[in-house]
Amino acid sequence: MKNLLTDLKTRVLSDIEGAESLEALESIRVKYLGKKGELTSILRGMGKLSAEERPIIGLLANEVRDEIETQMAEKRESIGEARLAKIIEEEELDVTANLSEVRVGSRNPLNRTMEELEELFRSMGFSVVDGPEIDTVDNNFTFLNFPENHPSIEMSDTFYIDEKHLLRTHTSPVQVRYMMSHKPPIRMVSAGRTFRFDDVDDTHSPMFHQIEGLVVDEGVSMANLIDTLDLFVKALFGEDMKTRFRPHNFPFTEPSAEVDVSCFDCKGEGCPKCNFTGWSMELLGCGMVHPNVLSMCGIDPEKYTGFAFGMGIDRITMVKYGIDNIRLLYDNDKRFLQQF
C-alpha cells in the first residue's frame, strides 16, 4: 500500500505539472481526489490493514494528499497569471467603440466669472485666499469698525447662527482674518458666498457672491487704489471703459468711495439704458482701510496704510453674459447652463 501511495503521488504530480488549463487541473483533481478517485479508493482500503500498519499508512496518505493539494493550488495560480498575461497581450481595447452618449455639463457662468476675477487679480500680484461662510460677529462687524447701532447688525438684516456667529454678510471679514494672521506687505483677494436677509426678485437673492481685495504696506495711497481699480475695470470689461469714483461711507474705510463704470450699452455716449448719463451701476465699494481696523487687526496704523475694495460677482456675471434674472444663476437648469 505504501508503494501504491508513492506511485500515485508521482503520477499525480507529473499530471499536475503537465496541466495547461484550469479545466485540465480540475479533471486531475476529480480523477485522484474525487469521490471515486484513486486516492479515495486507496484510503477506503485502509480498513483491511493491521492495527500497526494503519497509522503509518494513514500518515503517509495525509502527506500525499497535502502535497497534491499544495501543488494544485500553485499550479492554479500560475495558470491564472499566464492567462491574464495572454489576455493583456492579445486583446486590444477599442476606444472608438460606441458608448451610450456621455453628457458633460458646463461651468456655471458665475464660477467662470469668479475664476476670471481671481485670475486677473493674481496676474496683478494678489494672493487668492479663502474664508469661511460662517464667521464670528466680531470678524464680520466689530473688527471692521461697525458702530454698535449699525442697522446691518440687526437680526432683520443678517442670518445669525447664535449670538456670536452668523452667515457672513460680506467678504470683508476675510480681510480681518488675513491681517490678524499675516504681516504687511499684504496683497490679497478672496471670493465667495455671502448672505443677507433679502427677498428674492430678479436682481436680489439672500445668497450672493462677492470678491474682496486688500492691500496694506508702507506708503499705500488713494492714488494706488484708483489706479489699481481703473486697471482692473479696463482688463475686465475693455480698454474703452472709464471709472468714476463717488464719495461714500463704509465703517471700515476712510475715505470711502463707490465706483461706477461707463454704460455697457453706449460706452458712455448716453442711452436709455443709462438714463442718458453715460454711467452704469455702482460696480464696487472701496476706500482707504480705517486706522481703527488696522490697529484692531494688529497692524500699526502709524507705519502702514492700505486700501480695500469689495464687489458683487453676481451682478458682474449678469452684465457680462447678458443675464436678466439672478435666479437663473442658482437654478442649475441644464437648458440655461448649456448656453455657456
Q: Check if the beta carbon of residue 316 is closer than 8 Å to that of residue 281.
A: no
* 131 contacts ligand DAH (rule: CB under 6 A): no
Q: Check if the beta carbon of residue 283 is closer than 8 Å to that of residue 316.
A: yes
* Coil, strand or helix at 212: strand
Smallest gap, in angstroms, from Cβ of residue 287 to ligand DAH? Answer: 5
Q: Check if the beta carbon of residue 56 is closer than 8 Å to that of residue 115.
A: no
Smallest gap, in angstroms, from Cβ of residue 285 to ligand DAH? Answer: 3
Cell numbers given for 69: 493539494
Query: Both ends of the chain: CA-CA distance in Å?
Result: 85
Q: Check if the beta carbon of residue 231 is closer than 8 Å to that of residue 124.
A: yes
Residue among 25 and 214 whose Cβ is closer to ligand DAH: 214
Q: CA 81 from chain center: how many Å?
A: 39
Contact track, ligand DAH, 195-214, x by CB under 6 A: -----------------x--
Smallest gap, in angstroms, from Cβ of residue 294 to ligand DAH? Answer: 13
Part of the chain binding ligand DAH (CB under 6 A), chosen from 118-126, 197-205, 237-245, 306-314: 306-314
Residue among 26 and 282 whose Cβ is closer to ligand DAH: 282
Smallest gap, in angstroms, from Cβ of residue 249 to ligand DAH? Answer: 10
Query: In the window 169-198, what residues touch ligand DAH (CB under 6 A)?
Result: 170, 172
Residue among 32 and 309 whose Cβ is closer to ligand DAH: 309
Residue among 39 and 153 whose Cβ is closer to ligand DAH: 153
Smallest gap, in angstroms, from Cβ of residue 221 to ligand DAH? Answer: 15
Residue type, 43: L
- The DSSP code for 286 is E
Question: Torsions phi, psi of 163, nearest 5?
Answer: -65, -30
Residue among 34 and 251 whose Cβ is closer to ligand DAH: 251
Residue among 113 and 172 whose Cβ is closer to ligand DAH: 172
Query: In the window 246-265, what residues touch ligand DAH (CB under 6 A)?
Result: 250, 253
When binding is defined by CB under 6 A, the residue of 121, 166, 309, 314 that contacts ligand DAH is 309
Q: Check if the beta carbon of residue 143 is closer than 8 Å to that of residue 175.
A: no
* 310 contacts ligand DAH (rule: CB under 6 A): yes
* Coil, strand or helix at 124: coil
When binding is defined by CB under 6 A, the residue of 39, 61, 211, 286 that contacts ligand DAH is 286
Those residues with Cβ within 8 angstroms of residue 87's Cβ, 6 or more apart along the chain or in another chain: none
Smallest gap, in angstroms, from Cβ of residue 207 to ligand DAH? Answer: 14
Residue type, 187: R
When binding is defined by CB under 6 A, the residue of 173, 184, 285, 306 that contacts ligand DAH is 285
Burial class (CB in 10 A: 0-12, 13-18, 19+), 228: buried
Cell numbers given for 304: 502702514
Smallest gap, in angstroms, from Cβ of residue 326 to ligand DAH? Answer: 16
Q: Check if the beta carbon of residue 279 is closer than 8 Å to that of residue 262.
A: yes
Part of the chain binding ligand DAH (CB under 6 A), chosen from 266-274, 280-288, 296-304, 331-339: 280-288
* 109 contacts ligand DAH (rule: CB under 6 A): no
In which order are the strands placed within the sheet that holds 186-195? 127-128, 186-195, 207-217, 305-312, 279-289, 253-262, 243-250
Smallest gap, in angstroms, from Cβ of residue 131 to ligand DAH? Answer: 13
* Coil, strand or helix at 226: helix
Smallest gap, in angstroms, from Cβ of residue 284 to ligand DAH? Answer: 7
Site residues (vs ligand DAH, CB under 6 A)? 170, 172, 212, 250, 253, 285-287, 308-310
